[in-house]
Amino acid sequence: MIKVLVVDDSALMRKLIPQILERDNMIQVVGTAMDGQFALKKIGELRPDVVTLDLEMPRMDGMETLREIMKRYGLPVIIVSAHTKAGAAATLRALSIGAFDFVAKPRDVLSAQLEGIAHELSTKIRVAAASRKLKPAPAAELAPPVRKKKLEHRIAEQVVAIGISTGGPNALRYLLSHLPAEFPAALLVVQHMPEGFTETLARRLDETCSLEVREAQSGDLLLAGRVLICPGNRHIKVRRMPLGNVAILSDEAAVNGHRPSVDVLFVSLAREFAAEGVAVLMTGMGEDGAEGMGQVKAHGGMTIAQNEESCVVYGMPRSAIERGYASRILPLESIPDVLVAECAAGSAEERSGTLETKE
């Protein structure tokens, strides 16, 4: 049994969350707490395996509580977040200081009765209880904004597509902050996050790296040194066009239970860019992206999977590795250098005319 402590200042939430969790026969809610001070006391008494944590609480708020949980106990914490801009910003800050993952509360809790997040929350609790939790770098949340170089972007002939989920914001911050402003390829990211959170993620990443990072809009040009984050609840594809390569957003049905789906991006990368595409599958639970990575490899593209030791959750990379779809298996700290080398080599080949141009 996975023992869970539910921490929320709302009496309604302290009633509803245990009700939906205890439908899972692997989860036992051992207690609830109305604020951080009570939570810390109960963790010492009840020894839960996982904590669910609201961020807006009296006396000791969720952020301070999270810091104390990480310092004293090192337990995995799932944030139960308000579905607002302020809630998104606070959630990403919590992830940067050690929260394992989050779920967004429905906007109307009374009518939804949390049914929409029941499976997601119980799944993330199971994964959190079973996974190795890597602590973030000290003071990562306080990193100063990066001063951008003014560069004239050019249309990118190479595209790096990244699929990522649990553990993603911290891993993306590391990866993108170690790429130069003059990076010769365009980058597109599918991060499993709900609508409203990806805009905040893009803004925070833009502040901490030399590259330009923005939430994608349909028709955005694929420019060298630009990172496009797929909006929550949309799919993103790449397409070659006569006047420039672009990103296309769509509202097609979820794939692998996800919208956005990594597979949707990777499949379009394989079809449109073939050997000029690079697919990177990073930390996250589930299998999204594995089959798409197989198509990228079959079309001659480079495929990279993050290794188990540096993942918060190894599910997505492992699913591709076990199928034989990953050309390279790398620790997080090695991925930036390999991308720079791979894309620099590709740019040199393009300039020398050794690459065929796709009609």
Which positions are annotated as active-site residues?
Answer: 165, 192, 288
User: Could you tell me where the beta strands, DSSP code E, fall in the chain?
Assistant: 2-7, 27-33, 50-53, 77-81, 101-104, 159-164, 186-191, 212-215, 226-229, 235-239, 246-250, 277-281, 302-306, 328-330
DSSP per position, 6-37: EE-S-HHHHHHHHHHHTTSTTEEEEEEESSHH
Measure Cα distances from 137 to 75, 91, 170, 173 in Å. 17, 17, 9, 11
Structure tokens at 84: 């607002």
Closest CA to 277 of 157, 130, 131, 152: 157
Beta carbons of 208 and 143 less than 8 angstroms apart: yes
User: 128-152 burial by CB neighbour count: b if 16+ within 10 A, else e?
Assistant: bbebebbebeeebbeeeeeeeeeee
How far apart, in whole angstroms, are the C-alpha atoms of residue 296 and residue 276? 10
How many C-beta atoms lie closer than 10 Å to residue 113's C-beta? 14
Residues in the chain: 359
Per the DSSP assignment, residues forming a β-bridge with 281 are 163, 305
Closest CA to 6 of 46, 60, 58, 64: 46
Structure tokens at 344: 């620099």
Beta carbons of 311 and 317 less than 8 angstroms apart: yes
Measure Cα distances from 344 to 128, 177, 185 in Å. 38, 17, 9
Q: Are β-strands 50-53 and 27-33 bridged in parallel, bridged antiparallel, or unpaired?
A: unpaired
Could you give phi then psi for residue 249, rounded to 5 degrees?
A: -100, 150
Measure Cα distances from 156 to 11, 98, 182, 190, 254 in Å. 53, 35, 12, 19, 28
